[in-house]
Structure 1
């Protein structure tokens, strides 16, 4: 089987096996209030905080197993939170990757979020309650947000996957969506 077929099988499996979780988590997410322009500044702070604790937990684990994995989502979220006057937002969520396949599954969720984040970023300027915000680092609406996804795809194309690795990556992608679901239950006073 060629590498391209393995990559397509990996991505197809990840997409199909996480679709229901992804949709479930998206339907009740505060980010929807950005898309309909009804979000308040406090809700936006909460959205940034919830994303921060999820990304921080996942990114630090992915970094242990994927060579050259360099994402700055946690740093950009932290900068936005600090610019909004928040400084105590360190919560630890339990999340572990034990091998490269698990890191690939977790990275699928982390890097795959870029498209949605770009769309959300473009809509922020239409939210009256967020009009006083300076330029955002995380939800910035810029195409450069896709850099991590493109690097992820390039990495996938650099190797082959066996069935067990595909199953392991898929299970960890599902767990990563559940990590976000857990984070979306936190409040700013949870830490």
Structure 2
């Protein structure tokens, strides 16, 4: 593995675990999530991905992801149409975008596992097939492309420092999003 990937993993692992443990996704894994909690989880993810993806796309050529669109469609299908938010997030260069993408694209593996449990949640039995938490293996395609990109490049210590710092900031963006409540659903 590349030096940058090792640093990203090592320096964000504690933060990642801390943020993940209080996330509503755990209620999908233990099948106790309610429909309202599921809507909230989708909304919280939507606002974090929306803020991050726009910034990443400004600096990484060929960066393409549809997480925000899939979340918006899932929310729309559940009657949640008000998706405005004021989460601020800025990437100032390619190295920072690489750090943010580490978090955004790395979430695909967890999302795939979560998606496999949706059908086991009694409160979610009647929802349309999820587009975001879909449980499909092709959900990790962008993660694999991201890894390929990292392996194709050499990074300076400064770039690695910038990427690592922005990855931590991106996890904190998700933490902030996970503390926001959904104001209304139809």
Asked if Structure 1 and Structure 2 have the same fold, meaning a TM-score greater than 0.5 normalized by the shorter chain, the answer is yes
Q: What is the aligned partner in structure 2 of residue 109 from structure 1? A: 103
Q: What is the aligned partner in structure 2 of residue 3 from structure 1? A: none
Deviation, structure 1 residue 92: 2.2
**In the alignment, does 2:117 pair up with 1:120?**
no
Q: What is the aligned partner in structure 2 of residue 93 from structure 1? A: 87
Deviations 1:56-87 (A, max 9, x none): 00000000000000000000000000000111
Q: What is the aligned partner in structure 2 of residue 34 from structure 1? A: 28
Q: What is the aligned partner in structure 1 of residue 51 from structure 2? A: 57
Deviation, structure 1 residue 14: 0.2
TM-score normalized by structure 2? 0.97
Q: What is the aligned partner in structure 1 of residue 176 from structure 2? A: 182
Deviation, structure 1 residue 93: 0.5
Distance 1:66 1:155 in 2: 10
Q: What is the aligned partner in structure 2 of residue 48 from structure 1? A: 42
TM-score normalized by structure 1? 0.95
Question: How many correspondences in the alignment?
Answer: 184
Q: What is the aligned partner in structure 1 of residue 166 from structure 2? A: 172
Distance 1:92 1:152 in 2: 27
Secondary structure, counterpart of 2:60 in structure 1: coil
**In the alignment, does 2:73 pair up with 1:79?**
yes
**In the alignment, does 2:142 pair up with 1:148?**
yes
Runs in 1 of length 4+ with deviation above 2 angstroms? none
Deviation, structure 1 residue 94: 0.7
Q: Mean Cα displacement is larger for which, 63-72 or 148-157?
A: 148-157
Distance 2:46 2:33 in 1: 18
Deviation, structure 1 residue 158: 2.1
**In the alignment, does 2:9 pair up with 1:18?**
no
